[in-house]
Structure 1
Amino acid sequence: MTANPPSRIAQLRQASVAMLDGLTPAQQRCQSHPELSPMLWHVGHVLFMETYWLAERVFGDARITDAWRDLYVPEISAKDERSARLPDADALRAWAAEISEHNDTCWQRARDMAHPLLADGYLAAFLRQHYAQHLETMRLVRAQLALAECDPAAIDMRAAAPDTDFTPLAAHAVDIGTASIDAYDNEQPVFTAYPPTFAIAERCVSNAQWLGFIEAGGYQNADWWDADGWAWREAAGIAHPQHWRALTNGWFVFAPGSTDIANAPVHGIGWYEARAYARYAGARLPRETEWEAARRVGVLTDVEQVWEWCDDAFYPYPGFRAFPYDGYSLPWFDGGHFVARGASVHSEPEIRRPGFRNFYPPTHRHIHAGLRLAST
């Protein structure tokens, strides 16, 4: 059972509402990227979903959720239609205060209830993670807003060769997944995997090493790319990571707060790009079971800096059972979503665990994802 009490939800609520601070009304309402919703929507959505699962699903009270369902339920509210329908920040803050008080009362009442969603603290853990995941997404929104308005200047960075410092792991049995109440359905049930002998890089690929890929013609050489990835690259005109800008005197790399940009892990790349780099480097991406095995024995030295693309399409573990609803994982076992592991600098503690699985289409580049190399 998780050690975090339900009061952690109050902290996560406050952190979510605070994401509006320092943004202009236009920025609060702006859709900064086609795959990101406006900041106002994210704040309303997380509060709505807490109310949905607690007040509506546990107590059968849909008075609040009925009024906002068509805006804050993603399946019935298209991303590009959300901005114009959102309340302003003052109204949303006032609503958030009312909802927080209402939900705190519900949590107090829930202490004495027997309900499947409340057993062993499951619902509180589920909602903490939902808040945590959206807080990371809100930080991505802020990053895109800042990137759009920054004054790019070239940094001093020289291209580097791919890292050849790999740690071997002998074939062994390893338990994969998460057994605690915090686990999402796609992390369960825990099963035993038997990865054969492999080697994995101690560090993630750096910005300087990615510059080496660019200078070697990485975005021009189809031999390093999957056929689908090359077709996407040509159609989209992709020539560098999403957070980079090509200048006449070098490269601008958007990395606020970083003091060593050249050696920091590259991010802003999709799965297709990660696979192409791995081929250029004479290596491959780690498989999910390899990554988790390496993480659990502690041979990865810079985890939780960027999400790390794995070679696998998102798939159900043996004995998978959708819970608490079909929509979190089941629709994405479609062969078109790929796994990223490890958390990032934007991640909350709730999802910084070895078994947590993130998953995205191979073209998503706005996420804070990079890669680590592996070999057989």
Structure 2
Amino acid sequence: MASAAPAFPPDDLAARLAATRALTLELARPLSDADACLQPFPDASPAKWHLAHTTWFFETFVLRDHAPGYRLFDERWPFLFNSYYEGEGARIERARRGLVSRPSLEEVRAWRGHVDAALEQALPGLSGEALALVDLGIQHEQQHQELFLTDLLAAFAANPLEPAYGDLPPASRRASEPLTWLRGREGIVEIGAAEGGFAFDCERPRYRVLLGAHEIAHRPVTNGEWLQFIADGGYRTASLWLSDGWAWVQAERVEAPLYWRIEEESAFTLAGRRPLDHAAPVAHVSHYEADAFARWAGARLPTECEWESFAACADPSTGHQLDAAGPVLPQPGGSIFGDVWNWTGSAFLPHPGFHPAKGTVGEYNGKFMSGQMVLKGASCATPRGHSRASYRNFFQPAARWQFTGVRLARDC
């Protein structure tokens, strides 16, 4: 997890830091202490843990290491809120994060306030290296804001009462736009983040790749189209599936995207259960499902390089993404960024010449380059301004509790 030195003055960095930290608190505002402790499955984390872990990150890598005289708020808490940084020593098992009822939610909020005040005081005197870590911490917390929402959605979905986190507008009832195809770039193109500005280490170095003739769909696959796939026996036709995917479908008895009820055409959302919007992008599908749908549709998933080249001229701050106030639910229409992450057909592997960041923060990406598939774009839960064409999200192929969807490609 690495960045270049910040290409903006510390005052701007301070404003971005304050806005990011405030948004996390706002996302947590409706929650009770009990809500904030829920861990629906081992790969998800409690809301309180996200609040604490992002605070631990700033306290550990910025204040402890770069603010002389700073003392840890509580020396016992790093064991609870370290994630998987081996360089920071022992930590609680990931699957047991939901058992951490103490410290309380209010105590974690108090810790956040303490760390925020210390950061504000320390910022004017921090070195360029430390300011780069503050920038890294902002990007890291924005990732956890999305995880906060998707993990909470999974936790509330596990409650038979299916409680609502908040309100959402009614379904649009718009007709889906007919799918059209756009020609992708051919020949030698450059992929990866350019020098200057922030990027995670896995986005660099920039390199050249040869692309053949191909087309990419102008919009994601919709709920209505996914219903057609189901009606046509998509989940019962072995020839559509990768071998591992078919084994997963059989073992997990998968019949539809996560949170769907086919018999009533509904899906569970952060606003509770609601009717499917046929024109909205399908979400909460695995890579296995995305690949099977593409095969059923006579298409395929785009490669990471095809998608990135296609999106290189798009504005990544546009589209339906997470704002301070706005529906956290995929919406019809939109742009290549927003609504749902797009599965690609590419494994999460290093760019040629990749080197992880120095120090413990270098554990963030490189050690996960095995058994993961790349997703591109952004979702309705991604903080606006966080993503870019070179951004590399990644999950295991069976994962689907994120806002993951499908944008088709085909050869031509």
Q: Same fold (TM over 0.5)?
A: yes
The answer to whether the 8 A contact 1:159-1:215 is kept is no
Residues 17 and 193 of structure 1, relative CA distance in 2, 3 Å threshold: same
Deviations 1:37-61 (A, max 9, x none): 1111110110110111101233475
Task: Say yes or no: does 1:261 pair with 2:277.
Answer: yes
Shift of 1:65: 7.0
Q: 1:331 aligns with which of 367, 371, 385?
A: 367
Task: Classify the secondary structure of the residue corresponding to 2:344.
Answer: strand
Deviation at residue 6 of structure 1 after TM alignment: 2.6
Give the aligned partner of residue 139 of structure 1.
149
User: Secondary structure of 1:19's partner?
Assistant: helix
Q: In the aligned structure 2, how far is the partner of 1:65 from the partner of 1:25?
A: 20
Classify the secondary structure of the residue corresponding to 1:262: coil
Q: CA deviation at 1:74?
A: 1.3
1:145-224 alignment, distance < 5 Å = 145-147=155-157, 148=159, 149-150=161-162, 165-179=180-194, 180-224=196-240
With over 3 angstroms needed to count, the CA separation of the structure-2 counterparts of 1:322 and 1:253, relative to structure 1, is same
The reply on whether 1:355 has 2:370 as its aligned counterpart is no
2:96 alignment counterpart: 81
After superposition, residues 97-112 of structure 1 pair within 5 angstroms as 97-110=113-126
Q: 2:321 aligns to what?
A: none
Aligned 8 A contact 2:341 2:403 in 1: yes
Given that 2:223 and 2:276 are in contact with CA atoms closer than 8 Å, whether structure 1 keeps it comes out as: no
CA distance in 1, matches of 2:183, 2:293: 21
Cα shift at 1:260: 8.0
Identity %: 28
**Per the alignment, in what secondary structure is the counterpart of residue 76 of structure 2?**
helix
| Alignment partner of 1:271 is 2:271 | no
Question: Measured at CA, do residues 164 and 282 of structure 1 come closer, stay the same or move farther in structure 2, by a change above 3 Å?
Answer: farther
Deviation at 1:36, TM superposition (A): 1.1
Cα shift at 1:13: 1.4
Secondary structure at the aligned position of 2:311 is classed as helix
- 8 A Cα contact 2:376 2:391, kept in partner: yes
- The question of whether the paired residues in 2 share the 8 Å contact of 1:171 and 1:196 is answered with yes
CA contact (8 A) 1:312 1:338 kept: yes
Q: Which is further off, 290-299 or 162-171? A: 162-171
Distance 1:322 1:151, change over 3 A: closer
Q: Which runs of 5+ in 2 are unaligned?
A: 1-5, 85-90, 165-170, 316-333
Moved more, 63-72 or 90-99: 63-72
- For residues 48 and 314 of structure 2, the distance between their equivalents in structure 1, rounded to whole angstroms, comes to 39
Partner of 1:219, secondary structure, is helix
Cα distance, 1:220 vs structure 2: 0.7
Shift of 1:70: 0.7
The answer on whether the counterparts of 1:13 and 1:47 sit within 8 Å (CA) in structure 2 is: no
Q: Is the 8 A contact 2:179 2:219 kept in 1?
A: no
SS of 1:305's partner is coil
Over 3 Å counting, the alpha-carbon distance change for 1:108 and 1:157 in structure 2 is closer
The Cα of 1:136 is off from its aligned counterpart by 0.8
| Match in the other structure for 1:122 | 132
In the TM superposition, residue 2 of structure 1 has moved relative to its aligned partner by 4.8
Alignment deviations for residues 280-337 of structure 1 (CA, whole Å, 9 cap, x no partner): 1111000001001111244994431110000001011111110143311111111x10
Q: Which amino acid aligns with 2:407?
A: R
**Which shifted more, 295-304 or 73-82?**
295-304
SS at 2:133's partner residue? helix
C-alpha distance 298-74 of structure 1, shift in aligned 2 (>3 A): closer
- State the TM-score, normalizing by the size of structure 1: 0.89
Q: What corresponds to 1:308 in structure 2?
A: 342
Aligned to 1:67: 76
Kindly provide the amino acid, as one letter, of the partner of residue 9 in structure 1. Answer: L
Give the number of aligned pairs. Answer: 364
Question: What is the letter of the counterpart of residue 187 of structure 2?
Answer: H
Residue 343 (str. 1) matches residue 378 (str. 2): yes
Counterpart residue type for residue 348 of structure 2? F
Could you state the TM-score of these two structures normalised by the residue count of structure 2?
0.81
